[in-house]
Structure 1
Amino acid sequence: MQFEVWAPQADRVTLHCDGATRALERDPERAGWWSGEAQAREGSRYGFALDGGPVLPDPRSRRQPDGPDGLSAVVDLGRYGWRAAWAGRGLPGAVVYELHVGTYTPEGTLDAAAGRLEHLVELGVTHVELMPVCPFPGRHGWGYEGVSLWAVHEPYGGPEALQRFVDRAHELGLAVVLDVVHNHLGPSGNYLPLFGPYFTDTHTTPWGSAVNLDAPGSDEVRAYLVGSALAWLRDYRLDGLRLDAVHALYDTRACHFLEELSAAVDGLAEELGRPLSLIAESDLNNPRFITPRAEQGLGLHAQWNDDFHHAVHAALTGESQGYYADFGRDPFAALAKTLTGGYFHDGTYSSFRGRRHGRPLDRARVAGHRLLGYSQTHDQVGNRAQGDRLAALLSPGLLACAATLTLTAPFTPMLFMGEEWAAGTPWQFFTDHTDPELAEAVRRGRRREFAEHGWAEEDVPDPQDPATRERSCLDWSEPEREPHARVLDWYRRLIALRREQPDLTDPDLADTKVAYDEEARWLAFRRGDVRVAVNLGKEPAAIPLGTGEVEVLAAWDPVRSPGPDGLLQVPGESCVVLVQP
C-alpha cells in the first residue's frame, strides 16, 4: 500500500505501520512530499515520525479509532455498498434542518440519528445539515474544535456510520449537508504545525494563528483544505458543505481560497452529475460571497443570514443588548428591511461594531434562496448563558409566529433540531476535553464571559459536566404531548404550504411587500398572491389587507375574512397565511 505525507521541513520521515517501520523517500515530483510502500490491511494502525520524533497521526487520516491523539487507521471507503440511487437535490425550494449528532438522540451516534430521519420526512424537510463530525477530544462536544479534517469522530460511529447515515437519508429523499471548519483546528490534538506551515502569524484569529492561506507554503495548505472538502462530497456522497465563519479565512491572494474551493466543487458537481452546494457562515454582509465567479464574486451558493435572525429575535423577545441593539430600536422596521432587502446592515452604522457595516444586495441579481433564514441556530441558542431556546422565552402563539416568519420569508428556511415541536430541553455549551488544564481554562472562560453580563457563576452550566450534555439531548416523548404536538402540526402545515404555493418559493426578493405597525406590534407581507400576517402583541390587531375575497390557508387561531373596511382581525400572539387573488 502507498503512504505519503507532506512534511517540507523534515530531513527524515519514518512510517510506523502495525509495529513495523520504514523510511520514506522524498518525492522527486512534488516538493516537500515523502512517500513509500508498506504492507497494510483494513484497520492497520499507522503514523509518521519526523526526524526521529514521536509517531504522529496522518494529517490526511480517514479514521482515528483512538481519537485525535492516537494512531491513524487504514480504511477503504470504496468498499461500502451504497443502496440509494441518488440524483442530488439543490437549494432552490429547500427546507434545511440543522442537526447535532451527539444530542439529536440520547445515544449520540450517527446510526441512532439515522433511525429518526423519518420524523424529518414527515415534517417536510429536504436537507439535513450535520454539525461537524471531525474527531475532537473526548466523546461529547459541539464539534468546532475538531482536527483530522478528513476523518469522522469515532464515538459517532466512524466513517462507515456516516456513509450509512447519508445512504439512509438519500433513500428517504433527504439531501445531507456537512458543517466543516477551515478557519481553525484544535487546539487539542492539532499536530499539523509539526508537519509544515499550516498556520501563519501573518494574521490572527479569535483562536490564535490563522490557517495559512496566503503565506509561504500556502499552496499545499489550500490543496489540503480543498482536497478534504472534495473527499467529503465524493466519498460520503454528501450534497453540500456549510463553511464555518468564512470571515476568519484571511487571504490576500488575488484568487481567494473560497473562489478556488467553489470552482473545485462546481467541477466535481459536473463530474458527478448532481448539484453540490457551498453555504457560508459570514457576518460581513458582503454580497461577493454569493456572487458568481464570472461576475467577480467568490461563487458560493448561499450564506446564513444572521440579520434576519436578529430582527426576528428582537421583535419576538424585546431583547436589545449586544448585537441586538440596532435591531431592537425599531424591530418591525428592521424585520421589514431584511424581508425585502436581505441584509439589515447594508452600509448602515452598526452601534455594536462602532462603524458602518455591510453593503446592499442587488435584489435583481441575487435569488432569495441564496440566503438562509432562521429564528434559531446552534450558535444563537447555545451561546446564551443557559442555552435557552425560544420555547423557554415565548408563548406557543409567539413560537408559531416565529415559525411563520421563517417558513414564509423569501429565503431558504432553516430549523434548529427540536424547534419544530418547541423542545423543552435547552441546548447548552458542553465539552469533554481530556487535557485537565484546557478543561479548566474553558470552564473558567465560559463563566467569566457571562459574569461580565451579570450572571452568577453557579448559574452558568459547567461545560465539562456530563449532565450539561445530557440536558441538551432532545426528549423524543415531547412531540406526543401538548403544547408540543400543536406546534409540530403548525410547522408541518407551513412546510406543506411551501410545496403547495409556488409564491412561497419565488426567488425574487424584490417581489416581497411589507406593512407593519411598530406600536401595535403587527407585521404583514405579500409574496405574489400569498398574504402573511403576524400579531406579536397581546391584544387583537386590525391588519389592513384590502377588500376582496381571501382564502385562509393556515391560521394559528380562528380568523374571519376582512370586512368591507378591508381589515383582518388577528388575535393576540397569533398568525395567519392567506391567499388573496
Structure 2
Amino acid sequence: MNQALIDRRTLGITFSDNGACVRVWAPLAQSVALHLYKQDVTIPLTNDGNYWQAQVSQLQPGDTYKFVLNDALERPDPASLAQPEGVHGPSQAVDTQSFVWTDTGWSNLPLEDYLLYELHTGTFTPEGTFAGIETRLDYLIELGINAIEIMPVAQFPGTRNWGYDGVFPYAVQHSYGGIAGLQRLVDTCHRKGLAVVLDVVYNHMGPEGNYFTDYGPYFTTRYQTPWGNSLNFDDDYSDSVRHYFIENVLMWFRDLHIDALRIDAAHAIHDARETHLLREIKQYVDELMQQTGRQHYLIVESDQNETRFIQPLANQGYGMDAQWNDEFHHALRVTAGGERSGYYADYNGIQHLAKAYKDAYVYDGTYMPRRARIVGKSTAGHAGRQFVVFSQNHDQIGNRMLGERPSQLVSLEMQKLMAGAVISSPYLPMLFMGEEWGELNPFLYFVSHSDTNLIEAVRQGRKKEFAAFQGPFEAPDAQDEQTFERSKLNWTRLSREPHQTLFRYYQTLLALRKHSSLRHPDRESVAVVVDEARQTLTLFRQHSEAGQSAETVVCLMNFSKEAQAFTLPISEKAWKKLLDSADPQWLGPIASPSEIAGNGSVTSQPESILIYTNT
C-alpha cells in the first residue's frame, strides 16, 4: 500500500513550505512543461521514469496554468482542482489545506441511521449553487432527513449537466462554487448534524473536454461500456490509472471531509486483476480511517444483483458498505400501477415487492426474461443497512422522455402509500428532492455542450431512444436552457395545498422511522403476507433491545382502488395506530380506529397505508 496516497494528494499541484510541487503522469511523452499564464513562463518538468515533476517557486494558489506535451499540445491538468474558464480552459492551482474547518466535533452517523435525500445542485435551489443548498439545510433538518446525497460535481462542460459527463474528477464544478464552496457546504452540514454523500463516476469520462488520451493510456480497448472504451484498470500502464482514482477517493474523504461516496454504475468498472479496483479502494479507505479516526462509507450502484460488491474483504468481496437497490423501486412502481414495459416487464408487481422486502433482490439466482439468463445471488447474511431503497431517483425520473415524477403519474393517495412503503422498509430509505411536497416540475435530461456535433448527437440519440414512444410529444431538447429551467424545484408550492400537507406527512413518516422499530434495518425479523387478488401487503417489523420485550410494528398496505379488510395478528396487547395515510389530516377520506383489540380487524382505504404497534 502506498502511504503517500493516504497522507496527501500527489498529483497535480500541491503546496508546502517549499512552494508548489507539480506532478503529472504522461508515460509516453517525450517532454512535458508547465505553462504559467500569469507570468507567461514555461518551466520544463523532469521525468522520474513514470511521472513528470518539478518544484516551482513562482506558482501561487489562484494562478492558472496548463501542461505542454511534446512542445506542441497545451492541455489542462488531468488532476486539476479547478477549471474557472471551463473544461477547455486553463487549470487553476488550489491549496485545499487553506480552508479552516470547524467540524472537529463531528462524527459520521451509523450507516443504519442514514435517512438519505438525493439532490442536484443546479436544480435544487434557484441559485443552483452550494451556497444555495446551505440556505435550505434547516429546511432539510425540519423535514427529518440526516444525510444529503449530491449528484456528481466533477467539472463538466458548460453550466448545465446531470454531472455524469464530468471530465475532471478532481475539479469541483466552478459554477456551483468550486472546491471552496463544497468545503463550506460540508462544514456547515456537519455543524448542523447532516452527513454528506457525494456521487462519483469511475466507470467512464464525458466526451467534451476529455484530454486524458493526450497524457497516456487512461483507456483500454479490452472492454466497451455504454459510453465508449473502458477506463484502463487492468491493461498495460494500469497501475497509475488505478492510483489516480484511488487518490481521488481519498481526497474527497481526507481533504473535503465527505462522509460517503456513491459510486456510479460499479458494474461498468471492468477490472480482471486479482485485486479489483473497488476492493483496493476499500483497503485504502480502511487504512485512511485507521489513521484519521473518521468513519467513511462506500455505496455502489449496480444492476447485477451481485453480492460480491457488498461482501466483506475477509470473505473475498469488494467490501462496499451498501448498494442502491433498483429492484425494490421497480417492483414498487409496477405495484403502484406503473407501466410494465422496458425493464419493468421483468416485475410482476406485489409478489415481487414482497420478495424485495424479504430478500432485497427480486432476482437472486433466478431466470430474468429480459436478459434471458440466470441473474443475481442470494443476499442471505447481508444486513438491511446494505441496501438503499426509494420510490424515485434522478435516473428513474430523468430517463423518462418527459421526466415525469410520480406526482404526475399517480394519485396523492398512492404517493403517500409509496412513501410509506419505502420508509417502513428494512433498508435505508432515500428521497429525491421535491418528492416530499409532490413537486410537479419534471426532472429532465439536460446538457450545455459547446461542441455542435456533440449537441446534435445528443439530440439524435434522445430521439432514437424514445422513437417507440407513441404520443403527441417529442423528447425535450437536452441542450435547450429551458429544459434545465423546467427541471428546477418550485419552492413556492410548499405554501400551497396539497403540497404543504404532503410535506407534513413526510415529516411524520420520517419521525416515525426514527422513533419506532422501523429505525432498525433488521431483515431477519421481517415477515410479509401478500394477497395478490386484493392487492394488499402486510409487512411485519420487529426489534427488541436487550432486556426488553420486542416491539412489533405491522404495516398494512392496500394498493387497490377498493377498501380492503385486514385481520391483525393475535396480540395480548391492543394495537395502537402510529400512522394512517387516509386520515383527513393528510387529506384522506376517513381515519381508521386509533386502537384495535389484539385479535381485531381494520378496514384500509383505497391506496393507503396503516401502521400499528402493540407496545
Q: TM-score range by the shorter chain?
A: over 0.9
Output aligned runs, 1:315-334, within 5 Å.
315-327=335-347, 329=348, 331-334=349-352
Q: Secondary structure at the match of 2:68?
A: strand
Cα distance in structure 2, aligned partners of 1:449 and 1:90: 41
Cα distance in structure 2, aligned partners of 1:121 and 1:173: 9
Which amino acid is 2:566 matched to?
I
Deviations, residues 519-575 of structure 1 (Å, cap 9, x unaligned): 211111100101111112111110121344101011112112456863221111111
Residue 276 of structure 1, CA deviation: 0.1
Instruction: Determine the structure 2 residue equivalent to 1:494.
Output: 509
Cα distance in structure 2, aligned partners of 1:373 and 1:124: 17
Q: Secondary structure at the match of 2:188?
A: helix
Distance 1:181 1:455, change over 3 A: farther
**Is 2:402 aligned against 1:386?**
yes
Alpha carbons 2:26, 2:50 under 8 Å: kept: no
Instruction: Determine the structure 1 residue equivalent to 2:585.
Output: none
Instruction: Determine the structure 2 residue equivalent to 1:543.
Output: 566
Which of 508, 511, 517 pairs up with 2:531?
A: 517
Which of 463, 483, 488 pairs up with 1:473?
A: 488
Instruction: Determine the structure 2 residue equivalent to 1:263.
Output: 283
Instruction: Determine the structure 2 residue equivalent to 1:53.
Output: 72
Structure 2, unmatched stretches of 5+, are 1-19, 543-551, 583-590
Residue 55 of structure 1, CA deviation: 1.3
Cα distance in structure 2, aligned partners of 1:80 and 1:260: 29
Structure 1, unmatched stretches of 5+, are none
Q: Which stretch shifts more, 83-92 or 58-67? A: 83-92
Alpha carbons 1:106, 1:470 under 8 Å: kept: no
Residue 36 of structure 1, CA deviation: 4.2
Instruction: Determine the structure 2 residue equivalent to 1:460.
Output: 475
Q: Percent identity?
A: 42
Instruction: Determine the structure 2 residue equivalent to 1:225.
Output: 245
Runs of 4+ in 1 over 4 A off after TM superposition: 561-565
**Is 2:588 aligned against 1:559?**
no
**Is 2:553 aligned against 1:530?**
yes
Cα distance in structure 1, aligned partners of 2:446 and 2:466: 15
Cα distance in structure 2, aligned partners of 1:166 and 1:354: 44
Instruction: Determine the structure 2 residue equivalent to 1:161.
Output: 181
Cα distance in structure 2, aligned partners of 1:90 and 1:562: 35
Residue 67 of structure 1, CA deviation: 1.0
Q: Secondary structure at the match of 2:80?
A: coil
Alpha carbons 1:391, 1:399 under 8 Å: kept: yes
Instruction: Determine the structure 2 residue equivalent to 1:176.
Output: 196
Residue 232 of structure 1, CA deviation: 1.0
Instruction: Determine the structure 1 residue equivalent to 2:46.
Output: 25
Instruction: Determine the structure 2 residue equivalent to 1:424.
Output: 440
Instruction: Determine the structure 1 residue equivalent to 2:326.
Output: 306
Cα distance in structure 2, aligned partners of 1:571 and 1:210: 51
Alpha carbons 1:102, 1:156 under 8 Å: kept: yes
Instruction: Determine the structure 1 residue equivalent to 2:500.
Output: 485
Alpha carbons 2:568, 2:599 under 8 Å: kept: no
Q: Secondary structure at the match of 1:526?
A: strand
Alpha carbons 1:87, 1:273 under 8 Å: kept: no
Instruction: Determine the structure 1 residue equivalent to 2:368.
Output: 350
- The number of residues matched between the two structures is 573
Which amino acid is 2:491 matched to?
W
Cα distance in structure 1, aligned partners of 2:534 and 2:494: 33
Alpha carbons 1:177, 1:242 under 8 Å: kept: yes
Which of 410, 414, 422 pairs up with 2:430?
A: 414
Q: TM-score, normalised by structure 1?
A: 0.97
Cα distance in structure 1, aligned partners of 2:496 and 2:598: 41
Alpha carbons 1:7, 1:34 under 8 Å: kept: no
Output aligned runs, 1:3-18, within 5 Å.
3-18=22-37
Q: Which stretch shifts more, 344-353 or 377-386? A: 344-353
Cα distance in structure 2, aligned partners of 1:506 and 1:115: 31
Instruction: Determine the structure 2 residue equivalent to 1:276.
Output: 296
Residue 226 of structure 1, CA deviation: 0.5
Residue 508 of structure 1, CA deviation: 2.7
Alpha carbons 2:261, 2:299 under 8 Å: kept: yes
Alpha carbons 1:90, 1:276 under 8 Å: kept: no
Alpha carbons 2:114, 2:146 under 8 Å: kept: yes
Alpha carbons 1:3, 1:38 under 8 Å: kept: no
Cα distance in structure 2, aligned partners of 1:508 and 1:155: 42
